[in-house]
Amino acid sequence: MLRAVLFDVGNTLILASPRFWLLPFLQERGLRPLRDPRPAALAAFRFYEEHHLEARDLERALGLWREFHRRLFLGMGLEAHAEALSQELVENWKNPRFWPVTPGAEATLRALRERGYLLAVVSNWDATLPEILEVVGLRAYFQHLAVSALSGVAKPDPRLFQEALAALGVAPEEAVHVGDAEADLLGARAAGVRPLLFDPLGENPGALHRLEGVLDYLA
């Protein structure tokens, strides 16, 4: 019997693609990428992934985000604006507009809670995540947040999943994990948790494309 649902955050509960938050930010300032933003985003996210475990407090986390944004702008060909824009984004890191919630996320979490499921986050993220989930209105749905930078291990390490399971008091076979990346699939399976692949962009035909699909799966 399933009793718990674990959730990734980036590109699962919050849309991470720059098209949803960065491009509108640039348009408001009369700017646009001078080079294809996709390679720049891939490189910036790779840099973040390599360094996020070091961001165990807010000071280091905001420094990481500043460098992430700077690399993103440089990769887009916006060298003249990179420093100022990166600083502006870091100063406004608690603004929910920069953390767009995936359509259906709150309704899905509310429905799961009403059905009696225990909920936890299992995310490769830095020390800002608890406050980000608070400002976007999702924090209260979760009994536990297993955040890699705060726990010292990152997916696909199964220990991050095991932390969440222990906090909820459930066995691996009593939980499913919803996430968008290979690390979600590998980590969940290594922990004995059934993974559900999610793709908010609708590009993977074998994945869920709407978070409400989690409710259908559990019905």
Tell me the per-residue pLDDT of 51-106, one tens digit each, with 9 for 90 and over: 999 999 999 999 999 999 999 999 999 999 999 999 999 999 999 999 999 999 99
Q: What is the pLDDT of residues 22-42, one digit of tens each?
A: 999 999 999 999 999 999 999
Mean pLDDT value of segment 159-186: 98
Q: Which residue pairs from 140-148 have beta carbons closer than 8 angstroms and sit at least 24 positions apart in sequence? A: 141/106, 141/109, 141/110, 141/112, 141/113, 142/7, 143/118, 143/119, 143/167, 143/168, 144/120, 144/168, 145/120, 145/121, 146/6, 146/120, 146/121, 146/122, 147/121, 147/123, 148/52, 148/53, 148/123, 148/124
- Whether the pLDDT of residue 200 is over 90: the answer is yes
The pTM (predicted TM-score) of the whole model is 0.96
